[in-house]
Structure 1
Amino acid sequence: MGAALPTLLLILAGVLVGGTWSLYRQGAPKAAVLVTAALAVLATVAGVLRLLPENG
């Protein structure tokens, strides 16, 4: 699962970015758009950080 986790997180981030854009285009409440965008950012950061080599 270790090698697949960054890939899964980045796929999740892509789905969330698409969902955020869709919510925005449909005129969804601002809170829903912001929460979805925040989750997309968190998934992206987590995926990228999992790709970095460990120091230790």
Structure 2
Amino acid sequence: MSSILPILLLGLGGMLVGGVISLSRQGATKFSIGLVAVLAVLALAGGVLWLIPGDS
């Protein structure tokens, strides 16, 4: 289960990046684009950081 979570987070981040591109092409407000962009960065960062080996 622990190896599935980073893949899901990276997939979610990719979909959110696509959402940012789509929102910007549709002329959405800067707030909505920024909010989705922040969520995309958090999901991608979480997926990458989950893959870094820890001390445990």
Amino acid of the structure 2 residue aligned with 1:55: D
Identity rate, percent:
54
Provide Cα deviations, 1:5-53, integer angstroms capped at 9, x if missing partner.
0000000000000000000010001000000000000000000000000
Hey, which bits of structure 1, 4+ residues long, moved more than 2 A?
none
The answer for the alignment partner of 1:47 in structure 2 is 47
TM-score scaled by structure 1?
Answer: 0.96
Q: CA RMSD in A?
A: 0.7
What runs of 5+ residues in structure 1 fail to find an aligned partner? none
2:16 maps to 1:16: yes
What runs of 5+ residues in structure 2 fail to find an aligned partner? none
TM-score scaled by structure 2?
Answer: 0.96
Distance in 2 between the 1:41 and 1:34 partners?
A: 10
Amino acid of the structure 2 residue aligned with 1:3: S
Aligned residues: 56
